[in-house]
């Protein structure tokens, strides 16, 4: 099964690696893409609030461009997708220094974003609700209902809706998932649940719950789920 990642409908600007390797003639092409991206921002920022978000976002990008050296710019420009480009900008040490004095929680929020991205990558990506419904042979409404009943794991991706981690659609995992989710603490959030399945667990002798489910060893995972967030590490 191929990995499906949630992507914007019309990317603002996709920096192709070949554009960075070509001769200066490619500059004109990239300038055209920049103008197209700015035109789309003007088109999409219809409300006053949208315009405020657009202005503040562009100001932040301008701050990064002003501070970053050529090497850092090249690293960011070759990121896998547009969301990674933003994350790479936010994690730049020079950029963090300008934000920290006025927002001491910025580093913590950035670590949270990075951790979520790493979990999604480790889990093989996410499916849209339509793709999840197709695999399960259900309607969108039925998929949403399973998520709300904690029979299926969905990650809130903001305006992009819920993303459904790909790993949970493996046959052995899919069959055991509702029972395991039912054993987890009721206050465990969606990202904590994601971390439970994908991180090594001391109750499983350092193995990951997802790997144990793949191997058909559900009982140990159920015990680990009951202990998660309640008893701590053994």
Q: What is the pLDDT of residues 60-96, one digit of tens each?
A: 788 778 877 888 788 778 766 676 676 666 666 555 5
Whether residue 134 is found in the same domain as residue 192: yes
Ramachandran area for residue 204 (φ above 0: left; ψ -120 to 50: alpha; else beta): alpha
Whether residue 44 is found in the same domain as residue 102: yes
Per-residue confidence (pLDDT) for residue 209, from 0 to 100:
95
In-domain check, residue 40: yes
Residues of the chain with pLDDT under 50: 1-24, 232-234
Query: At which of 54, 78, 110 does a domain end?
Result: 110
d(CA 208, CA 200): 4
Per-residue confidence (pLDDT) for residue 90, from 0 to 100:
64
In-domain check, residue 160: yes
Query: At which of 58, 80, 110 does a domain end?
Result: 110
Whether residue 79 is found in the same domain as residue 153: no
Cβ atoms of 147 and 182 within 8 Å: the answer is no
In-domain check, residue 121: no
Whether residue 56 is found in the same domain as residue 132: no
Whether residue 102 is found in the same domain as residue 133: no
In-domain check, residue 182: yes
Q: How many CB atoms are located within 10 Å of the residue 154 CB? A: 22
In-domain check, residue 24: yes
Query: What does the block give as tokens for 99?
Result: 């934000």
Whether residue 131 is found in the same domain as residue 64: no
In-domain check, residue 63: yes
Whether residue 146 is found in the same domain as residue 215: yes
Whether residue 208 is found in the same domain as residue 133: yes
In-domain check, residue 233: no
The total of structural domains in the chain comes to 2
Whether residue 216 is found in the same domain as residue 166: yes
d(CA 104, CA 24): 41
Query: At which of 51, 78, 110 does a domain end?
Result: 110
Task: Please give the residue range of the domain that contains residue 146.
Answer: 126-227
Whether residue 86 is found in the same domain as residue 162: no
In-domain check, residue 119: no
Whether residue 219 is found in the same domain as residue 180: yes
Per-residue confidence (pLDDT) for residue 232, from 0 to 100:
47
Whether residue 80 is found in the same domain as residue 142: no
């Amino acid at each position: 099964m191929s990995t499906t990642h949630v992507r914007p409908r019309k990317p603002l600007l996709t920096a192709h690696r070949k554009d960075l390797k070509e001769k200066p003639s490619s500059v004109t092409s990239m300038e055209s893409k920049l103008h197209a991206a700015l035109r789309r921002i003007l088109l999409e920022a219809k409300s006053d609030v949208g315009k405020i978000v657009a202005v503040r976002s562009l100001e932040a990008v301008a701050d990064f461009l002003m501070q970053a050296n050529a090497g850092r710019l090249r690293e960011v420009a070759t990121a896998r997708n547009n969301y990674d480009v933003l994350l790479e900008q936010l994690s730049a040490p020079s950029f963090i220094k300008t934000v920290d004095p006025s927002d001491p929680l910025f580093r913590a929020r950035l670590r949270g974003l990075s951790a979520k991205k790493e979990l999604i990558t480790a889990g093989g990506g996410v499916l849209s609700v339509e793709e999840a419904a197709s695999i399960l042979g259900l309607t969108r409404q039925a998929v949403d209902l399973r998520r709300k009943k904690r029979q299926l794991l969905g990650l809130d991706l903001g305006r992009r809706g819920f993303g459904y981690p790909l790993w949970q659609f493996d046959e052995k995992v899919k069959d055991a998932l509702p029972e395991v989710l039912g054993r987890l603490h009721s206050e465990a959030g969606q990202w904590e649940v994601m971390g439970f399945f994908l991180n090594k667990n001391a109750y499983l002798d350092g193995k990951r719950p997802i790997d144990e489910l793949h191997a058909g060893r559900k009982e140990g995972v159920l015990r680990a789920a009951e202990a998660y967030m309640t008893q701590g590490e053994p």
